[in-house]
Structure 1
Amino acid sequence: MARMSVPPEVDDVDLEEVNLFDPNLYATGDPHAIWRALRLRDPVRWQQLDDGRGFWSITRYDHACRVLRDHDLFTSEGGNLLYTLGSWDPAAGKMMTSMDPPGHTELREPLNHLLSHRELVRREDHMRRAVRRFLLPLLDDSPWDLAEAGMSLPMSFTGPLLGVPESDWAALARTSVAAMAPDDPEFGVGGTEEAIAKAHFELFEYFSALVHDRGTELSDDLIGCLMGTEIDGRGLTHDEVVYNCYSLLLGANVTAPHVVATTVLALIEQPAVQDEIAARPELVPSAVEEALRWSSPANHFMRHAVDDVTLGDVRIHAGDPVVAWVGSANRDEEVFADPYTFDVARKPNRHLAFGFGRHYCVGAPIARIALGLVVSELVGLVERFELAGPVERMRSNFVAGVKHMPVVAHLRADAARVLRAETLEPE
């Protein structure tokens, strides 16, 4: 727990031994100590891997913003996550997260409308009931693994938006995690490459069949939106629709659950904060922003230099992979006062949890609404959480996640009535 809430010592960090590619670091080590040492001592540093591959590690906020914002100098079309390092990305130029403008802009605009705050607030009642159904196990006095259960929660929000049957939500949620955390033996199968291939194949096959079965009939969900979208005067190909279904699913499923688990962990460490939010509900929006900064569930985003460019005082060569470490940028002492304090009233809070620039997360509005409902319900229904077992973190260099966190809850007086009454309401 303490690795996120105590300013790490940096003097003992041997930068020559640092390996930010290693997924074990995020499961059992302390990346925050390493990130802080890099910010202070070597903020633009080349990471050489034993197999000959390498990449630039970017750990300061202002540098990360430049890399993520400037698509003319740093392209998304060479692979945007470390698991594609040194290999060809088949989604390049086809999937929104692996595209540069102007194609990226044309693909994003219709999705922006469907995922706008104005459109989504109409679903708020449905989303609140989904949150309360998720919290029903708290009525039992026995320990509940909030982190494990939370991995299925985002499908309650994104499943209807995408237009996928509820019967498929649980399987899609688990396969999504396997696709983004293939190094974790609990979710992957065999080696890393085998796990990635299996998860990606299953998701692509699923959406390919779903899109094929729809034929030419368009609907008002996200899949229908993609099927009706045009880029450069032409409709998307079947593969492009499938790639972007996959991207939207992963964007929702892989990171959001870890904001919930990490926030509850912060409230366990600082119970007075939970009381503060309960007493002042107007703090919920800023608490959500702080939860996003605090958890930074997407560890990194990768780009490739288009031309030779200087970042800080370091020369980066054309073609070099450049990795912006979001978890580090969101603890940058030059930008965030007391960055290792979970401050639900923090303002301003210009965190990078949703990215930055043209690739700012298209699903940010629904994530904010959903997380606002989760925080509001948690502090309104639960007086105190207690850990009921060890906290286990995910073995992944991309997902900064908690995979197991058993808790017991001490409910407020009216919580049982509220949970039971609301979850029995018809849709």
Structure 2
Amino acid sequence: MRLTPGAGPDIDLDDVDLLDLDLYASGDPHRIWDVMRAKAPLHHQTLADGREFWSVTRYDDVCRVLGDHREFTSERGTVITHLGEDDVAAGVLLTSTDPPRHTEVRRPIAPRVTARAVKSWEDGIRRAIVRFLEPALDGSTFDLGEQVQRLPAIVTGPLLGIPEQDWDQLVQLTSMVMAPSDRHFKLGSEAATLAIAHHELVDYVTRWVKRRRSDGGEDGSLLDHLMSVRAGDSPLTDEEIALDGYSILLGANITTPYTISGTVQALVDNPEQYALAAADPSLVPNLVEEGLRWTSSACNFMRYAVDDVEIGEGTIPAGGAVVAWIGSANRDESRFPDPHRFDITRSNAKRQVAFGFGPHFCIGAPLARMTLRVFFEELLRRCGSIARAGDPEHLRSIFIAGMTHFPVTVQKRRHGGGVATAGAGVAVRPAVTPEGGCPAIADFPPQYSPVKADSGF
């Protein structure tokens, strides 16, 4: 999808189909979200087959929908493409489970991926990223959009306990789940693509668990740790481990690659921002936060209203499906002044909700943030300039905002590979938020705050 909205005729929301894949592959959804925030903060759409859903696009409303499972449940499904189809894995699959079960499974995993815990992985991640960047520095065209899709597997594969020979297969399968209509991943119909990918991913983790139980060994990986997790008084069954492992594999492959390619595109289109970051490496953490806000790779999540809920100047009836548009929330002008300007000195960039909000806030956010920070540190250290070498191709997906192709050429930095340390003369005061966590609870009105008992886990 386009990340910078363009000019165009006035938009009539009655004519808008938010499930039109062309809107995200070649259209301009940010223009539509701008109008929705201003004129229809609670938007209703009925499909030709009678199914209906509501949309919230304002920052506070998105946080409310995602933040309180007592008002909005995940257990009937969280993906708009499955609208009206109750999730067969509800109550088991982490993404389709509400507290307390969600908390019981997630809480033992969380200490393994805190900002402090993942710090010990930084050197290995840096070496992997340096190797990844080497082919881009030889002066030839480098398709960042295509190549970066493998980076999460290179980084997280060893941490999850996945052998290198399986990385490419798992990248392909997770992409099939997230973008089953995209030509690069589609196998037959969308339904067939989803069915194949889901079966293969769950089967992979199931076989992994059986081998580990048979071998009796431990490798300290996150999947290995999942085998020792207890939900309440009982250990997880192999089916539960397989489905939770499936959730972790999907999460590990969403945000990072598309945030990288989208942020690099923003730096190419705004060379003064690239120059700022190159001149002052202390800006890189805020560059990451602005990149997360700008790209909003996971651009929406769905919930179902438990009871009638008044929100966004309207009412969602009990049982109604509501889509929280993260991509819109991160461009809400009431929270982010001049929201369509990419600005790595933005003082409140860390209040972005690209990782979600509330109980389902991305458990891997600290690892993703560190990976992104290291990537841009090494990119700026090695690359003097980056230029487009062709037109990008956008992912054909309602759920994921990203590029499948983004050809670039890189001019290698000439002064020994170090980033200049001269300050850019711009003061940045990032928002004070919990380390590696979601936006501070104090930033939100009480009725929109996340459920504190879950601590974002």
Amino acid at match of 1:151: Q
Does residue 1:381 correspond to 2:385, yes or no? no
Alpha-carbon offset, residue 416 of structure 1: 7.7
Paired residue for 2:316?
Answer: 316
Shift of 1:255: 2.6
Q: CA deviation at 1:135?
A: 0.6
1:73-84 alignment, distance < 5 Å: 73-84=71-82
Cα distance 1:415–1:74, how it changes in 2: closer, same or farther (>3 A)?
farther
Aligned to 2:63: 65
Task: Please state if 1:412 is matched with 2:413.
Answer: yes
**Partners in 2 of 1:297 and 1:55 — Cα distance?**
22
1:282 paired with 2:250, answer: no
Task: Please state how far the C-alpha of 1:51 moved relative to its aligned partner.
Answer: 2.1
| Residue type of the alignment partner of 1:186 | H
CA distance in 2, matches of 1:362, 1:237: 21
The corresponding residue for 1:257 is: 257
Q: Supply the distance in 2 between the matched residues of 1:162 and 1:95 (Cα, whole angstroms).
A: 18
Instruction: Report the equivalent of 2:86.
Output: 88
**Alignment match, 2:191:** 193
- The aligned residue for residue 125 of structure 1 is 123
Checking the alignment, whether the CA contact within 8 Å between 2:137 and 2:411 is kept in structure 1 is: no
Contact 2:297 2:402 in 1 (8 A): yes
Q: In the alignment, which residue of structure 1 is the partner of 2:346? A: 346
Q: CA deviation at 1:399?
A: 0.6
Say which SS state the counterpart of residue 152 (structure 1) adopts.
helix
Q: 2-side partners of 1:165 and 1:242: how far apart?
A: 17
Q: Find the aligned partners of 1:119 and 1:382 in 2 and give their Cα distance.
A: 30
Q: 1:173 to 1:161 in 2, by over 3 A?
A: same
Counterpart residue identity of residue 4, structure 2: S
CA distance in 1, matches of 2:416, 2:367: 25
Per-residue CA deviations over 1:372-418 (Å, capped at 9, x if unaligned) read: 01111111111111111111000000010111001100110156899
8 A contact 1:10–1:34 mirrored in 2: no
Cross-structure match for 1:425: none
Alignment correspondent of 2:241:
241
State whether residues 255 and 368 of structure 2, in contact with CA within 8 Å, keep that contact through their aligned partners in structure 1.
no
- Aligned partners of 1:341, 1:68: CA distance in 2, in Å? 26
1:399 aligns with 2:400: yes
The superposition leaves residues 138-170 of structure 1 with CA deviations (integer Å, 9 ceiling, x where unpaired) of 132221100100000001121111111111011
Given that 1:54 and 1:321 are in contact with CA atoms closer than 8 Å, whether structure 2 keeps it comes out as yes
Which of 155, 165, 178 is 2:163 aligned to?
A: 165
CA distance in structure 2 between the partners assigned to 1:264 and 1:373 by the alignment: 14
Name the CA distance, whole Å, in 2 between partners of 1:44 and 1:256.
30
C-alpha displacement of 1:91: 2.0
Q: Does the CA-based 8 Å contact 2:381-2:417 persist in structure 1? A: no
C-alpha distance in structure 2 between counterparts of 1:346 and 1:154, whole Å: 27
Letter in 1 for 2:408: V
Which stretch of the first structure deviates more once superposed, 350-359 or 8-17? 8-17
Query: Which string of whole-angstrom CA distances, capped at 9 and with x for unpartnered residues, describes residues 160-206 of structure 1?
Result: 11111111011111111011100112111111111110111111111
TM-score (norm 1): 0.94
Gap regions ≥5 residues in structure 2: 420-457
Which residue does the alignment assign to 2:31?
33
> In structure 2, the residue corresponding to 1:4 is in which secondary structure?
coil
**1:232 CA displacement:** 1.5
Q: Which residue of 1 aligns with 2:365?
A: 364
In structure 1, the partner of 2:4 is 5
Q: Which residue of 1 aligns with 2:14?
A: 16
Indicate the SS of the match to 2:150. Answer: coil
Q: Deviations over 1:25-64 (max 9, x none)?
A: 1100000011001111101011111222221111111110
Unaligned runs of 5+ in 1: 419-427
Match of 2:38, SS?
A: helix
The answer as to whether partners of 2:181 and 2:396 remain within 8 angstroms in 1 is yes
Q: Alignment identity in percent?
A: 46
Q: 2:264 & 2:7 partners in 1: Cα distance? A: 25
Change in 2 beyond 3 A, CA 1:10/1:74: farther
Alignment partners' CA distance in 1, 2:230 and 2:236: 6
Which moved further from structure 2: 389-398 or 83-92?
A: 83-92
User: Which residue in the other structure is 1:175 paired with?
Assistant: 173
Equivalent pair of 1:255/1:401 in contact (CA under 8 Å): no
Instruction: Please list the CA deviations of residues 107-129 of structure 1 after superposition, one character each: whole Å capped at 9, or x if unmatched.
Output: 11121111111111111111001
Q: Answer yes or no: is the 8 Å Cα contact 2:25–2:397 preserved in 1.
A: yes
Is the Cα–Cα contact under 8 Å of residues 384 and 414 in structure 2 kept in the other structure? Answer: no
Please give the alpha-carbon distance, in whole angstroms, between the structure 1 residues aligned to 2:71 and 2:9. 34
Offset at residue 218 of structure 1 (A) = 4.5
Compute the TM-score of the two structures, normalised by the length of structure 2: 0.88
8 Å CA contact 1:150–1:261 kept in 2: the answer is: yes
Q: Relative to 1, partners in 2 of residues 1:415 and 1:196: Cα closer, same or farther, differing over 3 Å? A: farther
Corresponding residue pairs, total? 416
Aligned CA-pair RMSD:
1.6
Structure 1 stretch 214-223 or stretch 291-300: which is displaced more?
214-223
Q: Mean alpha-carbon deviation: is it higher for 126-135 or for 212-221?
A: 212-221
Q: Is the 8 A contact 1:208 1:238 kept in 2?
A: yes
Deviates more, 1:360-369 or 1:187-196: 187-196
